Amino acid sequence: MPTTSRPHGPRRPLPGAEPMAGIGFELRRLSSRDEILGPVAAVAHAAIVAAGPWLYTVMAILVIGEAASPLIGEDAMATFRVLVVYVFSLSLVGTSPVAMVGTRVLADSLYRRQYEDVRSVFVLTLLAASAATAILSCLVFVLLLRVPADVAFAGIAGVQIVSMVWVGLAFCGAVRDYLQVTLAFVTGLLAGVGLAVTAALHGYGPVPMVWGLAAGFMIVFLWLTARFASTFPSPCRSLAAAQAAFTARLRCSPSLAIGATAGAVSVWIDKWIIWTSGYGERVEAGLIHAPLYDGPMFIASLTVVPALALFVTSLETTFFDRYRAYFQAIDTHATLKNIRAQGRILERETTRTLANIMVVQTALCVIVVLTAPAIVEAVGLQFRQIGILRMGTVGALFQYLFMSCSALLIFFDATRVYATLQLIFLGSLAALTVLVSQFEPGSLGTGYMLACIVSGFASLFALLKVLGSIDYRVFVGSATQARPV
């Protein structure tokens, strides 16, 4: 089997870690302020950085639902909600592998100080993401579901626009201006909600409302792009170099794209399976969903947001300090004893930070599980959905553990381990969801919960193993890690 090896010897800090680290340092300065608003603002900004499009979609659905339901009726509102969910899910699945590789190529360019290539990488990533999402959305809306032309056109265009936002957000990590990222999403959200509600006021129906929301996403993309372009002013004269860098990165570590694809699909695979089971229902436009499962799982997924924000503020600061200190010890030719000491500090700091965030997330999980009947009643769900909400919340706790450990594995360039874990999670979640879809409605969340628990612990053990062998991976394993899968 042909191999593409790196030179033997110690490696510098992985360039893939650089872009987000700047955001972490800025957030740390906010969180260290004495006044109470400082830490609150840091967590709020981190939530936008970690899950901006997701939070945008959630807030838009909630606000527009309250404002527009009395105007257009529940059936039309259901069509709007389901179409927005389709747009969000397809954009994530189509964009994730492209954005993962693109940001890694960007990090390589920044690490080598080849700033003249940055815009080319950005443009090529946008084009590749646009092509991938166009093919995927056409396949779903036109060939599989065969929805009306206006619904298909709005859905395909919406997927394209949201995919551009995913790319813009990923690349704006290099800008290190989290305030502009937050302002972009707030402005776009206000505009999108305003346009969608205006469309409802004039009786235009769900499709024009989706166009209004998509216009808000376009504002976010243009804002992020302008901020990125002002930071890297070198013009894009040719895509040849960026294309060569993409090809080289894919050839060097194809598992990165494979893992990102599997990870994105796993976010939605359980929903897609339940939609196509006996629990699925069709809205007026022909789109399939399963409100019995979607409602409680939607609420359960929101419980992960605080942990994701803490991951950005805590892990991306203290972890990266220790991470860089370890590699600086290597670069400055420190003694083996000192290098190993820095490695153990890095291991302890990483596990401590993970444990602290898991404590917070566990407390939130317990609160939601205990108050599930009150939550179900408050949001208008059915009593039989309490069990799904509880199991979804427990599953979300371990899915956060899985996501955070997976992200750290990429920091250590353990892309094969990362891809393997994503594939295991995807396969186990799909199999268990198919199994539980044959049982009573109250057990629908069991498959998701069990898959998350197993995958969460598997990712933790994998991370601990990588941390425990970091010296070997740096000094010996670097020559073999890049072999094609």
φ, ψ of residue 101 to 5 degrees: the values are -70, -40
Give the tens place of pLDDT for each residue, 347-357: 888 888 888 88
Categorize the per-residue pLDDT at 41 as very low, low, confident or very high, splitting at 50, 70 and 90.
Answer: low
Query: How distant, in Å, are the alpha carbons of 365, 399, 416 from that of 429?
Result: 20, 11, 20
Under 8 Å between Cβ of 124 and 15: no
Under 8 Å between Cβ of 398 and 361: no
Strands (E), 382-432: none
Query: Nearest to residue 279, comparing CAs of 304, 297, 265?
Result: 297
With 70 as the cut, is the pLDDT of residue 30 above it?
no
CA distance 398 to 359: 12
Categorize the per-residue pLDDT at 6 as very low, low, confident or very high, splitting at 50, 70 and 90.
Answer: very low
Under 8 Å between Cβ of 457 and 425: no
Higher pLDDT, 160 or 176: 160
The 3-state DSSP composition of the chain as helix, strand, coil percent (nearest 5) reads: 80, 0, 15
Name residues whose C-beta falls within 8 Å of residue 464's C-beta, 6 or more positions apart in sequence: 351
Q: What percent of the chain has pLDDT over 90?
A: 40
Q: Which of 48-62, 74-88, 268-282 has the lowest mean pLDDT?
A: 48-62
Q: Which helix (H) or strand (E) holds 289?
A: strand 288-289
Annotate 223-285 with DSSP letters as a single string: HHHHHHHHHS------SHHHHHHHHHHHHH-HHHHHHHHHHHHHHHHHHHHHHTSTT-EE-TT
Under 8 Å between Cβ of 206 and 72: yes
Give the tens place of pLDDT for each residue, 308-321: 777 776 766 677 77
Give the tens place of pLDDT for each residue, 242-260: 888 888 888 887 888 899 9
- Residue 48's pLDDT is 62
Tokens of 22: 């700047």
- 289 pairs with which residues across the strands? 281
pTM score? 0.84
Q: Which of 37-51, 131-145, 208-222, 327-341 has the lowest mean pLDDT?
A: 37-51
Task: For the chain, give the mean pLDDT.
Answer: 82
- Residue 237's pLDDT is 79
Give the tens place of pLDDT for each residue, 386-413: 999 999 999 999 999 999 899 888 877 8
Query: Nearest to residue 441, comparing CAs of 279, 287, 240, 291?
Result: 279
